[in-house]
Amino acid sequence: MQFELRDLQVLTNKGFTPEKAKTFKPLHPFDRAVVEFLDVLSRKLLRDPIARQYPDIVTFAFWIRKSNIGILREDYERRHDFSKETLYGKGLVFHVAPSNVPINFAYSLVAGLLSGNANIVRVSNKDFPQTRIVTDAMEELLDGGLWPGIENLVTVVKYQRENAEWTALFSTICDIRIIWGGDETIKEIRKHQLQPNSIEICFPDRYSLCAIEAKAILSEENVATLAERFFNDTYLFDQNACTAPHLIIWVGDAETIEKAKPLFWGAVREYSGKKYPIAPIVAVDKLVAFCREAIGLGNVRREIDVDNTAVRVAVSSLSEEIQDNKSYGGYFNEFDARRLEEMTPVVTKKVQTLSYFGFSHNKIAEFLTQGNCVGIDRCVPMGKTMDFSLNWDGKYLVDALSRTVTF
């Protein structure tokens, strides 16, 4: 069969053809050449003054250093008994990266590489500098001919959403399809069938929460730093990343909560006010969201605040419907609880990240193991919601993207 490379922008691995992509022989996870390549890429990015201007690139570059990959490898090795099994990549992974988180494509690619696969990554059509910087750096390394084993593993492409024939083609030749992004994207991509023996991993729309121990706010010396961490979890990506909390659970007695809220939100407003000016459309969208929620839920009350940085709407009881009332750009539901366990009614399968402040690791562990929650895939301290992990949405990616041979 002949495929014409029409309207396809190949950002890395310029010699890409679908035929070549199919002939790849899978590697073991954490292949030495792959780990070396990532380490060199890391150093290249960290040396580049332009790349260093992007905190998300810097975080990514640190994440793919050999020392960090070593830690991930140890974790992987603990999970397996290599006297009875060995793992190989599945083959070819087709990644559909989200349209609005620039660096996500790189993490998805690395997860595919580390599990021993060749990869075709479709990146957003938007012209993100981060995409260009990372793919240019990769292409420069590969161009030197020093990485003959790697170049066919890392194909990053771009094409218009309307050119569905590319999605169709990559879906036919891949062994695994990974779809990041919302429910609508998943429905759209699923119109294109996979081969019977291929599998799919989807990351659909999720809902995330944040639990705060009110007492801990009162005793916190540096609320400003805490506000910065909360900002990174929320406003930094318009509160529209799947990890961003939309519901804040305040735990404590009424009086303490009453004192803690203004301290916390005052600091958030102080920090966000400088970093995240509220565009008029965001202010109006949040007002619409509030009216919609008032009409829909009926048990809500808006907090009167000095400006539109954070629109906060208190709910007097928790139900699943709260999840349908999320907005973006600083719109929060709040619920006052005596105990952490009171949040259980809202913890459905859709709930992804619980970020927390003021609770010990043990307290969170106790809640998760005894609480019988159907949702929550990860718990992280406030400020860490965007940290990528090979364990995502409750799936350990290296295992999910590889084949285990037992003997």
Partner 1 sequence: MHHGLGELLNTQPYTLDAKSKKRALDRILGELTVFHFENCEKYRRILEAWPYDAYKSPESLSIPYLPVRLFKEFDLKSVSDENIIKTMTSSGTTGQNVSRIFLDKDTATNQTIVLGRIVSDFLGTRRLPMIIVDSSAVLRDRVMFGARGAGILGFSFFGYDKIYALDDNLVPQVDKIEAFLEKHREEKVFLFGFTFMIWKYLLKEILDSGKTLDLSNCVLVHGGGWKKLLDQQVNNNTFKSALKSAYGLLDIHNFYGMVEQTGSIYMECEQGHLHASVFSDVIIRNPKDFSVNGVNSEGLIEVLSVLPASYPGHVLLTEDRGVLLGEDDCPCGRKGKYFKVTGRIEKAEIRGCSDIYAV
Beta strands per DSSP E along 316-357: 331-337, 351-357
Q: Assign residue 145 a region: left if phi > 0, alpha if psi is -120 to 50, beta otherwise? A: left
Please choose, from the candidates 251, 265, 279, 266, the residue with its C-alpha nearest in 3D space to the C-alpha of residue 356: 251
| Three-state DSSP state, 74 | helix
The beta-carbon contacts of 271-274 under 8 Å, at least 24 apart in sequence, are 271/224, 271/227, 271/228, 271/231, 272/227, 272/231, 272/235, 272/309, 272/310, 272/330, 273/307, 273/309
Residue 298 burial (C-beta neighbours within 10 Å; 0-12, 13-18, 19+): exposed
> By CB under 8 A, is residue 306 in contact with partner 1?
yes
> By CB under 8 A, is residue 391 in contact with partner 1?
no
| Residue 317 DSSP label | S
**Contacting residue, 180, 264, 332, 359, with partner 1 by CB under 8 A:** 180
Q: Interacting stretch for partner 1, rule CB under 8 A, among 11-19, 79-87, 111-119, 179-187?
A: 179-187
Q: Which is nearer to partner 1, 59 or 308 (CB)?
A: 308
**Cβ 327 to partner 1, closest distance in Å?**
8
Q: Which is nearer to partner 1, 215 or 350 (CB)?
A: 350
**Contacting residue, 100, 256, 348, 389, with partner 1 by CB under 8 A:** 100
Amino acid at 323: Q
Bridge partners for 177 per DSSP: 94, 200
- CA 300 to chain centroid, in Å, comes to 30
**Contacting residue, 58, 283, 337, 368, with partner 1 by CB under 8 A:** 283
**Cβ 374 to partner 1, closest distance in Å?**
21
> By CB under 8 A, is residue 355 in contact with partner 1?
no
Q: Which is nearer to partner 1, 158 or 312 (CB)?
A: 312
> By CB under 8 A, is residue 350 in contact with partner 1?
no
**Cβ 231 to partner 1, closest distance in Å?**
14
Please choose, from the candidates 110, 28, 15, the residue with its C-alpha nearest in 3D space to the C-alpha of residue 69: 110
> By CB under 8 A, is residue 109 in contact with partner 1?
no
> By CB under 8 A, is residue 144 in contact with partner 1?
no
**Contacting residue, 185, 198, 355, 402, with partner 1 by CB under 8 A:** 185
Q: What is the spatial distance between Cα 96 and Cα 372, in angstroms, rounded to a whole number? A: 33
Q: Which is nearer to partner 1, 139 or 303 (CB)?
A: 303
Three-class DSSP labels, 146-205: CCCCCHHHEEEEECCCCCHHHHHHHHHHCCEEEECCCHHHHHHHCCCCCCCCCEEEECCC
> By CB under 8 A, is residue 74 in contact with partner 1?
no
**Cβ 208 to partner 1, closest distance in Å?**
11
Q: What is the spatial distance between Cα 405 and Cα 402, in angstroms, rounded to a whole number? A: 10
> By CB under 8 A, is residue 287 in contact with partner 1?
yes
Q: Which is nearer to partner 1, 256 or 308 (CB)?
A: 308
Q: Which is nearer to partner 1, 24 or 328 (CB)?
A: 328
Q: Taking the CB of residue 160, how many other CB atoms lie within 10 A of it?
A: 11
The full length of the chain comes to 407
> By CB under 8 A, is residue 336 in contact with partner 1?
no
Residue 75 burial (C-beta neighbours within 10 Å; 0-12, 13-18, 19+): middle
> By CB under 8 A, is residue 1 in contact with partner 1?
no
**Contacting residue, 191, 292, 349, 361, with partner 1 by CB under 8 A:** 292
> By CB under 8 A, is residue 179 in contact with partner 1?
no
Amino acid at 362: N
Q: Interacting stretch for partner 1, rule CB under 8 A, among 27-35, 323-331, 340-348, 398-406?
A: 323-331
Q: Which is nearer to partner 1, 33 or 164 (CB)?
A: 164
**Contacting residue, 328, 344, 395, 396, with partner 1 by CB under 8 A:** 328
Q: Which is nearer to partner 1, 6 or 274 (CB)?
A: 274
**Cβ 386 to partner 1, closest distance in Å?**
10
Whether 355 and 382 have beta carbons less than 8 Å apart is answered as yes
**Cβ 328 to partner 1, closest distance in Å?**
6
State the residues that interact with partner 1 by CB under 8 A. Answer: 98, 100-101, 104, 180-185, 203, 205, 237-242, 244, 277-285, 287-288, 290-295, 298, 300-302, 304, 306-308, 313, 327-329
